[in-house]
Amino acid sequence: MLPRLFRRLVLTMHRRAAIRALGLLPLAWTLPGKAADKYPAGPVRMIVPFPPGGTTDANGRIIAQALAQALGGNMVVENIAGAAGTIGTAQAKRAKPDGYTLLFGNISTQAISAGLYPDLPYDPLKDFAPIAHTGKLVNLLVVHPSLGVKSVPELIAYAKANPGKLSYGSSGIGGTPHLSAELFKQRTGTDMVHIPYKGGGPMLADLLGNQVQLSFANLPDLLPHVRAGKLIALGVTSRERWPSVPDIPSIQEQGVPDFDMTSWMGLFAPARVPAPIREQLVQATLDVQKKPEVIHRLSELGFVEEPMGGEAFSAYVAQQVKFWSTFVKTAGIKAE
């Protein structure tokens, strides 16, 4: 009898242990789920669809570094350049919408391209969830000193007296320097010849050599040459004077109506990113833009912060797509 009782006791103990173990299983199953809910639980890739060293890349890297610290994870910047930023942007569109691939886009990829490229491989409004605006940058209108004009009214008078004789250089068709000049022509009724270059470097070399007489280009690229007396600054393309160069008047204040051209950039996620992750990214991106070191680093590059996130940024992007798509078509601008 003893062996049989002993066996029964052992089996009972095993059953109780098994029941207790099963009772713990829901907790064990829950723990991995909670770990998976933490974002980010791994490296986050930020695609910058332009080469390293440009203004969009510089802004993106500052924001990426600050976000990595704020979120407690790694933010890896990957430059995927080509076709005016559309290649990298299209790749971001195809990424899994889990918050682990983000896009650092700008006015060109998220607004101008919609009107410039009939076969654009993405829809800026349908394929992306805007996270936050991260800064804007102004263009500067400059002329070669030999032209002999020192203000916007003088340039307009010269252009009207010499229709088609002035040439302006740009970094390429469809960029903000090109569109700034076309907007200027439209608002002033002047006729100038566009000379597109493959990048800002070659254009600047010819501008300094007086092969082209004027240009609209990014403030940081032109300002050193203005300070050195090699170029004459006529005006900034924002509605009002730019904080970093308050001594240079705006084009609008010199009599050109409704003239405003500022390049902006911001963070985006693929559409259908989970709402909690998007909200976390929106808040984190807005928060880091309040940090003194971020403000200082961006202002050193000529950026002005205009924080807006979530739905406010979505509405802004939609307005920009509508305006620039209409302008590109009205001006008859065609992609290369």
CATH code for the part of the protein at 43-136+263-331: 3.40.190.150
pLDDT at 224: 96
pLDDT at 199: 86
Q: What is the pLDDT of residues 182-223, one digit of tens each?
A: 999 999 999 999 999 988 899 999 999 999 999 999 998 999
Is residue 9 scored above 90 in pLDDT? no
pLDDT at 336: 72
pLDDT at 7: 44
> 294's torsion region: left (phi>0), alpha (psi -120 to 50) or beta?
alpha
pLDDT at 335: 86
CA triplet 199, 327, 151: central angle to 5 degrees? 65
| Residue whose pair of structure tokens reads 């030999």 in the numeric block | 146
Tokens of 312: 């406010």
The secondary element (H helix, E strand) that includes residue 105 is strand 101-106
Is residue 138 scored above 60 in pLDDT? yes
Local confidence band at 28 (pLDDT 50, 70, 90 cut-offs): very low
pLDDT at 14: 47
Which part of the chain is CATH 3.40.190.10?
138-254
Q: What is the pLDDT of residues 114-128, one digit of tens each?
A: 999 999 999 999 999
What is the β-pairing status of strands 167-170 and 193-196? parallel
Measured distance CA(222)–CA(95) in Å, rounded: 37
Q: Looking at 107-261, which runs of residues are DSSP E strands?
A: 128-143, 167-170, 193-196, 214-218, 232-236
Rounded to the nearest integer, the mean pLDDT of the chain is 90
Percent of the chain with pLDDT over 90: 83
Burial of 84 (C-beta count, 10 Å sphere; 0-12/13-18/19+): buried
- Close Cβ partners of 216 (under 8 Å, ≥ 6 residues apart): 139, 140, 141, 142, 168, 170, 176, 177, 178, 180, 181, 184, 237, 261
What is the β-pairing status of strands 128-143 and 75-79? unpaired
CATH topology classification for 138-254: D-Maltodextrin-Binding Protein; domain 2 (3.40.190)
Mean pLDDT, rounded, for 123-141: 98
Residue 306: closest CA among 136, 177, 191, 182: 136
Is residue 8 scored above 80 in pLDDT? no
Tokens of 254: 């010199």
> 332's torsion region: left (phi>0), alpha (psi -120 to 50) or beta?
left
Using a CB cutoff of 8 Å and minimum separation of 24, what contacts does 317-320 make? 317/110, 317/111, 317/124, 317/125, 317/130, 317/266, 318/125, 320/107, 320/110, 320/111, 320/264
Q: What is the pLDDT of residues 44-84, one digit of tens each?
A: 999 999 999 889 999 999 999 999 999 999 999 999 999 98
Which part of the chain is CATH 3.40.190.150?
43-136+263-331
Question: Which residues on adjacent β-strands are paired with residue 194?
Answer: 168
Is residue 31 scored above 80 in pLDDT? no
Measured distance CA(305)–CA(263) in Å, rounded: 12
